[in-house]
Structure formats: structure tokens, C-alpha cells
Structure 1
């Protein structure tokens, strides 16, 4: 099936985070959101969304860790040493790690992208220097999935579903993704 933990730090990008959770659940993955201090977490556009669970060691039992972006959500993830340690744990145990937009800088700080193809927000080739930065919408290399920004959670989520062996062809059709010009 696949179990995915999505972190919700204060200032997370709502469009990215909620779209990821929605699409992964639609695609048949068990997907839970985790907050740090409060049950309801304020996003960067002042939307308060209730997290499924509080951040804890249970996350280590998930198959994938997802780090959405946002301001200051990405920075809040970056400054949280428990998050950095968790990313390193996932990498050391060959578990999947996915990040998009400003969440990708956490991967650099955790030193888990060396020699791996990655992408990120515009200008992030200067921030993701240990990885092999490519200008693609969503990238999967070894155990890392990355994507660019607020307009890319659909291809990012489809890439995650494919990593778990899901065929997203019908899902794309049902969501009118191809009709809207998605690739």
C-alpha cells in the first residue's frame, strides 16, 4: 500500500500540502499529516488546518516523508533539528523522502542529495548545490522525489504514486489533468 507522512510546519504552503495529501489518498496511499506544536496549523495564507497527528517517532515507520514548502514553512522545517535528523534517518534506512519548493533546502542541510538529481523552486540551483540540479517539474532519483513550486503538486504527487508502483493514467483522466495540459 505505502504509508506517507506529510509534515505541516507553521507557514506551510496550503495549496501544495493539501493537494499532495488529497492526491496521495485518492491514489490509495495511507497519508497522514503531522504537526509540531498545535493540532491546528496556520498556513502561509492564514488557513488553519487540523493535522492528523503530532510529530513523533512513529513517523520512522512510514515509507515516505514529505516536506512541502511555504513561507516560513520551509524555513521552519529547515531550522528544526528533529526534522533534519528524521530526513537523515530516512536516507540511512533507504526510505523515500519527497520535498518540493522551499522544502527542498532541508535535503541540502541534511546532506542527503549528494550525487542525486534534484529540482526545486526558481533559483534553487544555488541552494541545492550538493545535488545534480535539473530544471524539471518533478524528479525521482534513488530514494528522493523533488518538485519545483506551488503549481507543481499534481506532477509531484503523480511521481510519488508511481514510485509506489501506482498507475496514474486513469487518475489523470478522471481529474482532467491531461485536458488541462498536464504532462
Structure 2
């Protein structure tokens, strides 16, 4: 059985983060679908329109992980959607994985799923991630959460997600020249 990851694409999503995550997870052999709110063609924070795979809804519950990328106002748009908050809480209550990076991490605080868990987020987010134990690290995995910092960190973030599903990413890192480029 292939593990399934749902990546949420709200208007204003960070293009580099979102598309890199999807790309790496698919290369790693995971099923990774993007979900949209409203229009299937979603505008990113830099004006790039990308056609998402599926409409956000109950189907997301069939996935093993939900991922909340950042972006302005993408992260805020996710945070302000009560259905997203409910879905994140559902994933937490059912011990399913939740991934978030950059401004997407603020959803975790509002959903109250970071209590006593180690997390990271964008620079200055230690004050915004209330209830969590903030770590100034590129990627932090604790219990069912995987969090990361920002636009330069989707590679290690996506590799960590693949690894929590038991994938060995060493060959993939080599093929993608990640180690050559100084990645760890």
C-alpha cells in the first residue's frame, strides 16, 4: 500500500515550497495530491497559477498526512478556514501525520495540535507557535508532526516526510544532487 499525502493549496501559497514538496514526494514513490479551495487553478503568492488535483473535502481524511505549505497570504488563508482547522484536528486526533512549513505552521497553533510538541517555523514564529516547543532548526519531527522553516527548506522537509513513511531517501538525494549542493 502506498502512503498518501494531501498538500493544501490556498490562494497565495508559496510556489517554491508547495511544488518542491509535491515533486520530491512523488519521486519518493508516495501518492501526493494537491487540494484546492474554490477554483481549481490556484494563484500563488508570486502570481503563478497552478492547477491543483482535487477539491478540498472529506476525501482528505483518506490520506495518511496533510501538509500545509506557507505563503502570503496562503498560510493565513489556511488558518482562517474553519474546515482546515477541523481537518488538522481530525488528523491529530487520529494519530495521522501533519506537516507544515513557513507560515503554514500558524494553522497548527490555532488548531491546538502542537501542545508540548517540538516545532519550527519561519523566522520570528517562536511567539506565534503557542503551546509548542520552538526549535530553531531546519526541520523538526516530533510525534505526528513534521515542521520546517521556509522557502529554502522544502527539500529537507520533503525528505523527512518520505522518511517518516519508511522511505530511504539517500539515493533520491544523490540523484537530485542534494548532497552535492551541500544539503544534509
SS in 1 for 2:121: coil
CA distances 1:93-126 after superposition (whole Å, capped 9, x unpaired):
0000000000000000000000101000000001
Distance 2:9 2:123 in 1: 22
SS in 1 for 2:126: helix
Q: How does 1:77-88 map to 2 (within 5 A)?
A: 77-88=78-89
What residue is the counterpart of 1:16 in the other structure?
Answer: 17
Q: Identify unmatched segments of 5+ residues in structure 1.
A: none
Distance 2:57 2:34 in 1: 12
Q: How does 1:121-132 map to 2 (within 5 A)?
A: 121-132=122-133
SS in 2 for 1:125: coil
How far apart are 1:129 and its partner, in Å?
2.3
SS in 2 for 1:124: coil
SS in 2 for 1:172: helix
Alignment root-mean-square deviation, CA: 0.4
Distance 2:80 2:157 in 1: 24
CA distances 1:19-53 after superposition (whole Å, capped 9, x unpaired):
00000000000000000000100000000000000
- TM-score normalised over the length of structure 2: 0.99
Distance 1:139 1:174 in 2: 24
What residue is the counterpart of 2:97 in the other structure?
Answer: 96
The size of the alignment, in residue pairs, is 183
What residue is the counterpart of 2:55 in the other structure?
Answer: 54
What residue is the counterpart of 1:106 in the other structure?
Answer: 107
What residue is the counterpart of 2:75 in the other structure?
Answer: 74
- TM-score normalised over the length of structure 1: 0.99
